[in-house]
Amino acid sequence: MSLVAAFAGLPLPILNLLATFVFYIGNRRGTYFVRWHCMQALLSQLSLLFINSTGFWWTISLIFTDEPLTDSYLAYMLTAVICNIIEFIATIQAAIKTRRGEHVEWFLFGPLTHLLCKP
């Protein structure tokens, strides 16, 4: 779901989070396996929301003001793109493995998901 949301909501970071949240709500009564993975996707999108929103609003401020492009901005945007690419690749790999019934835990999000999602 987060892959579809990434393409649909690329310009507005909140759309990715909302789409993943709707998917989670739709599957919250599903099996523990499905709920767990929906929660993990939701947490990953929440972390990207902060990264992407900062980049989005920084870009908007550069467009509508006379501020020049700085090395800080370019470095931040490069970091944001790398984070999004890593999340995109990890999502594809997790989707493939999860489709096979394998349990995939992402670093940092897996332990947090265990705390939030109960069997």
Give the range of the structural domain holding residue 17, as residue numbers without chain letter. 2-116
Q: Counting runs of H as helices and runs of E as strands, what totals does the chain give?
A: 5, 0
How much helix, strand and coil, in percent to the nearest 5, is found in the chain? 75, 0, 25
Q: How confident is the model at residue 8 (pLDDT cuts 50, 70, 90)?
A: low
Rounded CA separation 14/11 (Å): 9
pLDDT, tens digit, 9 for 90 and up, residues 32-48: 888 888 898 889 888 88
Count of domains forming the chain: 1
The answer, as to whether pTM is greater than 0.85, is: no
The structure tokens listed for 100 are 């096979």
Q: State how far the alpha carbon of 113 is from the alpha carbons of 18, 87, 109, in Å.
A: 18, 16, 6
Mean pLDDT of the chain: 85
Q: In residues, how long is the chain?
A: 119
Q: What integer pLDDT is reported at residue 10 of this predicted model?
A: 56
